[in-house]
Structure 1
């Protein structure tokens, strides 16, 4: 099984690759080659930084978004987005202006609103992950504690796409899912046993 870990200059690739291997992945291809993505059995899109910069990096690779769309949306390959890689699933992001996303899960990425002066932004560190009202990820996400680092959050249009929530001065979406696509706002590669267990389940996931 080949897993394509997309290199678009916006992720801590080697940490994610090491975590995937620790979780049981045998063939992790760190790649910026659309043909590798088009042939992969599973795809992981990491992301660190602003929505705008990450989108520019991804769309800046000729043919990459088309290859991802063909393999995931048409071919049905399981897909995992991490942090900004999850946020890019949205219709648009509102960080540094309006930037179009992949639009695979309708919604927008907007700034975390400070509802309590004691709440710090960015949302950084360990926090609980609780399941959403539905189970769009078919058991992939489990309750636990994960490591977060973000100032913007994904607000889906449809609550049925919410796979998990966390609380930081109010509810924030911790994971989204739709069909063969799942995204997590937290960093599995920094979330120790909880994160490795999630990655191991993703490697076996048959949506």
Structure 2
């Protein structure tokens, strides 16, 4: 099996590469690339994202054919794709970080700034927080409800269809921290920074 981590110059993704490399040993062939042909021919994709929604979308669009290739892979051919942090947020129709920016439009919804309740909650939301699993999910297999994951974000994905939500976390409000729809998976938290439980989630994705 061939798994591709898409490197589209969206910031430092070394921890994503390191954790997937650790879990993938002997199980799958892992490649880090933005080569369109290699992405087309792989079996699974990991779409990381660091920085702002706007900068990540712009970075994707700078690589000719990449957005269409990802759409064909995930939406047309329905192969497994995991979005991490802004990688998840970009599934949305629109993001409002820096400026109103059109997203990939794969899961209807928007990405808005977390309501910090007049400074009651610090932004960005950084550190370990408990997740509440909302539905049976392939990537949460053998992961206990109320596990702790690591977060770094100021914006949240608000999907129109609440049935895609697979987990939430409590920070100012119930924030969507994981989605699952068919072959599409996304986490707002960073599994690659979430110790053994995060590695288990990565293992679940690679075993799909």
Q: Could you say which TM-score interval applies, normalised by the shorter chain?
A: over 0.9
Q: String of CA shifts for 1:129-178, please: whole Å, max 9, x gaps.
A: 1112x34xx33234311100000000000110111000112211110111
- SS of the residue aligned with 2:20? helix
Aligned-pair distance for 1:7? 0.8
- Say whether the 8 Å CA contact 1:5–1:13 is kept in structure 2: no
Query: Aligned equivalents of 1:77 and 1:62: distance in 2?
Result: 21
Query: Aligned equivalents of 1:153 and 1:191: distance in 2?
Result: 19
Residue in structure 2 matched with residue 183 of structure 1 by the alignment: 186
- Say whether the 8 Å CA contact 1:80–1:182 is kept in structure 2: yes
TM-score by length of 2: 0.93
Aligned length: 202
- Say whether the 8 Å CA contact 1:123–1:148 is kept in structure 2: yes
Query: Aligned equivalents of 2:84 and 2:75: distance in 1?
Result: 18
- Say whether the 8 Å CA contact 1:5–1:31 is kept in structure 2: yes
Residue in structure 2 matched with residue 5 of structure 1 by the alignment: 5
Residue in structure 2 matched with residue 111 of structure 1 by the alignment: 113
1:67 to 66, 69, 91: 69
List alignment gaps of at least 5 residues for structure 1.
none
1:28 equivalenced with 2:30 (yes/no) = yes
Residue in structure 1 matched with residue 200 of structure 2 by the alignment: 197
1:145 equivalenced with 2:144 (yes/no) = no
1:169 equivalenced with 2:168 (yes/no) = no
List alignment gaps of at least 5 residues for structure 2.
none
Aligned-pair distance for 1:11? 4.0
Query: Aligned equivalents of 2:16 and 2:99: distance in 1?
Result: 29
- Say whether the 8 Å CA contact 2:139–2:202 is kept in structure 1: no
Aligned-pair distance for 1:3? 0.7
Query: Aligned equivalents of 1:68 and 1:36: distance in 2?
Result: 12
Query: Aligned equivalents of 1:110 and 1:31: distance in 2?
Result: 30
Query: Aligned equivalents of 1:117 and 1:49: distance in 2?
Result: 22
- SS of the residue aligned with 1:76? coil
1:15 equivalenced with 2:34 (yes/no) = no
The runs of 4+ residues in structure 1 deviating greater than 4 Å are none
Query: Aligned equivalents of 2:155 and 2:60: distance in 1?
Result: 19
Query: Aligned equivalents of 1:11 and 1:186: distance in 2?
Result: 16
Aligned-pair distance for 1:116? 6.2
Aligned-pair distance for 1:103? 0.8
- SS of the residue aligned with 1:23? helix
